Structure 1
Amino acid sequence: MSSQKKSKNKIIIIAVVVVAILIVLHIITGFVLLSPSNLLILAGNMAVPTIIALGFTFIFACNITDLSPGAIVLLTANCAGIIGNACGSPVAAIPAMLVGCIAVGVACGFINFTIYRVSKIPPWIAGLGMTMAYEAIVGIYSQARANKGLQVEFLRDENRILGSQPWIFIVLIICVVISYIIYNHTTIGINIRAAGCNENVAKTMGINVSKTLIIGGIIAGLFFGIAGVVKESVSIFTPAQGGLTSLSTVFQPLAAVLLAKALSKNINRIIAVPISTFIIVVIFNVLTLLGVPSGTFQEFLLGSVVIIFAVFAQRGVKGVVK
């Protein structure tokens, strides 16, 4: 049997198992899980984590461990509130929010990856430092507003279009399509994966490794900027966070990326990202439907999911994981 046929058979088996599990969970939850209304809620809940996970995919393709995206999304979400309210009508506010937040996200990606390449500081250490810096920026802004007796910007309802149906799904689909094309069908996507896999081989191939990896960070920042707009549109406002608490934002997308890596042996990595996010969102939705309150137990479960998916993702990987 050819390897391609074996791969197709594995995909079919995985699909059948997943569908069977979903049907069982649908019955256990009193036929609520797969109801049309609940599926729409699940699709909406997976939008922001999926877009962040797409950005993470490019970071990991660069062989970089960076946990600052949560703080970047925190920063871009607040920018979305400021820009959206300053522009007034949705016709002006939506494009302005997207352009402005993408610019901020791209700038953060550029700064982060330039620091990693120039300073030679381990990215996970430098990334924690940048996380604190981005949190501090939002904290300073929040404190300045508080001194005037104000809160952080609450995005006006008429400008929250991208957080409502069907626009939130349209944004999600566009992000998946863009990332799929860049990751699989562009020279820069191929170069990013080559440089992240082996820098010495990439240099031999004539690839400018530093430039390529910085572009990878910029592409990731683009998705973090979009995630910030969608997050602000969904939640109305995004409060300041400090002491690395923004790291909690990245655990669900991180789990999705790790599961996608495990699935990528049989499914395209980018396609596997929304599938993985959906699976994770379903897990927590089932817990909620079964009456398990959000909080400590669900956070414990999320941490366990990250570890389990990491184990599956690293199967067959030799040497030290960076």
Structure 2
Amino acid sequence: MKRFLINILKVIMLPVIVYLIFLVICFERFSNWNCIYTIFIQTIIPTITAYAIAYGNICGVFDFTIGSRLVISGVIGGLLAAQYGFAGMILGAIISAIVVGIITGVLNWWLKIPSLVLTMGLAMVFEIIGSKLAGHYGFVQIDNKYAIFGSSPNIVIIFLLSAVLFYFVFNHTVFSFHMRAVGSNEAVAKNSGIKTDLVKCKSFVYGSVFIGIAAILTLSQSGSVGAQTSLGSVTIMFKPLISVLLALVLQRICDLTIGIFIAQFTLNIIFIGLIAVGLPDTFQNVVLGFFLLVVMILFENSGRIEELKEKRAARQKAMSAS
């Protein structure tokens, strides 16, 4: 129990330390609860998107189509909202996300080419499809009465339900154990009787549910979804992907469900803080990259750091005894 509480404290300290740094730098902007609430709300959609990325990432699949699939899902949901209301928006977004996810997963299974190459090509194809569906103006809008999921408390409730769903699938299903086995060593997993190609295909499909949810929230929060071209959709998955990488490091001390949220929350603090400071976009990316490196170095070498501390303590004890 003591170790569990210490691990929770370690995880929470990451965003707290980052927030305190920006509190000192920009006290007026960060010294109110409204700032924390705003960061939390802005963390929800990227976190759900990161849940979609996590499945593929864990089983060794790199998926460039996340953003383009989210756009297609949002566009179809928006178009069907005008025809069939809430039911059209919800079912249209989720079903279209799953269908496109199945297509991606099956092609990855059949074509036997690296997922990085396949999904990059598919991302460009899906962007064109999304652009055609969006029509002449390149975006789809919804009526304000269908945007209730984009504000509190509805968006918070949907986020909590999404987190519970991700937690259950990741921790309490056979698929999750097969997924981790494939990601750990695909050859060994295959020799153990696991259908590795099927597991990878399922990772696209399972992730598509969260893509559909993220599309609905995006549509509701902004009131529209715009088409992307020339791999512009890849930027949608940039921050969620980094949060997954950080969460996989944090997984040693907390569940991946919480780790992804904590990592994304911390990243949002950094982005908002850098904007408040007035730094240009290029320098923001430099700071973000540096932060990612520092965190991963510290956590990846945590065992070595502990060994050095123990050796130092033993040396000091020996010196005091002599």
Specify which of 269, 290, 306 is matched with residue 282 of structure 1: 269
1:99 matched to 2:91? The reply is yes
Q: Which amino acid aligns with 1:298?
A: Q
Q: Please give the alpha-carbon distance, in whole angstroms, between the structure 1 residues aligned to 2:111 and 2:138.
A: 37
Other-structure match for 1:116? 108
Which of 12, 23, 28 in structure 1 is aligned with 2:20? 23
Residue in 1 that maps onto 2:41? 44
Q: Which amino acid aligns with 1:224?
A: I
1:86 matches 2:72: no
Query: What is the correspondence of 1:61-210 to structure 2 with a 5 Å cutoff?
Result: 61-88=58-85, 93=86, 95-142=87-134, 145-146=135-136, 152-210=139-197
AA partner of residue 284 (structure 2): Q
Shift of 1:303: 5.2
How many angstroms does 1:307 deviate by?
6.1
CA contact (8 A) 1:251 1:302 kept: no
In 1, distance between residues paired with 2:299 and 2:120?
23
Native 8 Å contact 2:108 2:201 kept in 1:
no
Counterpart in the other structure of 1:53: 50
Q: Which amino acid aligns with 2:238?
A: F
Contact 1:251 1:303 in 2 (8 A): no
Change (3 A) 1:272 1:136: same
Q: Secondary structure of the equivalent of 2:278?
A: coil
Name the TM-score, length of structure 2 as normaliser: 0.85
C-alpha distance in 2 between matches for 1:80 and 1:303? 35
SS across alignment from 2:224? coil
Structure 1 residues 278 and 189, CA gap change in structure 2 (3 angstroms): same
Shift of 1:211: 2.0
Distance in 2 (CA, whole Å) between partners of 1:111 and 1:50 is: 24
Q: Distance in 2 between matches of 1:79 and 1:311?
A: 42
Q: Does the CA-based 8 Å contact 1:49-1:252 persist in structure 2?
A: yes
Q: Which residue of 1 aligns with 2:29?
A: 32
Percent of aligned positions that are identical: 25
TM-score, with normalisation over the residues of structure 1? 0.85
Deviation readout 1:41-74 (Å, 9 max, x if unpaired): 1111111110110011101122111111011111
Structure 1 residue corresponding to 2:283, chosen from 293, 297, 311: 297
Cα drift, residue 208 of structure 1: 2.4
How big is the shift at 1:195?
A: 2.4
The 2-side partners of 1:18 and 1:132 are apart by 35
| Matching residue's letter, 2:146 | N
Amino acid of the structure 2 residue aligned with 1:249: I
Q: Distance in 1 between matches of 2:301 and 2:103?
A: 33
Task: Give yes or no for contact 1:255–1:309 (8 Å, CA) kept in 2.
Answer: no
Q: Which has the higher helix share?
A: 2
Displacement of 1:32? 3.4
CA contact (8 A) 2:11 2:262 kept: no
Distance in 2, matches of 1:313 and 1:224, equals 29
Conservation of the 8 A alpha-carbon contact between 1:252 and 1:280: yes
Check 1:193–1:27 CA distance in 2 against 1; reply closer, same or farther (3 A cut).
Answer: same
Amino acid at match of 1:172: F
Amino acid of the structure 1 residue aligned with 2:117 = I
> For the residues of structure 2 that align with 1:252 and 1:209, how far apart are their CA atoms?
28
Distance 2:182 2:97 in 1: 22
203 and 5 in structure 1: CA distance in 2 versus 1, 3 angstrom threshold: farther
Hey, what's the Cα distance between the residues in 1 that align with 2:228 and 2:15?
37
The offset of 1:159, in angstroms, is: 0.4
Q: Number of paired residues?
A: 302
Cα deviation code 1:62-87 (max 9, x no counterpart): 21111110111111111121121222
| Aligned partners of 1:256 and 1:273 also within 8 Å | yes
Shift of 1:25: 2.5
State the secondary structure of the residue aligned to 1:153.
strand
Q: Structure 1's 105 and 185: CA in aligned 2 closer, same or farther, altered over 3 A?
A: same
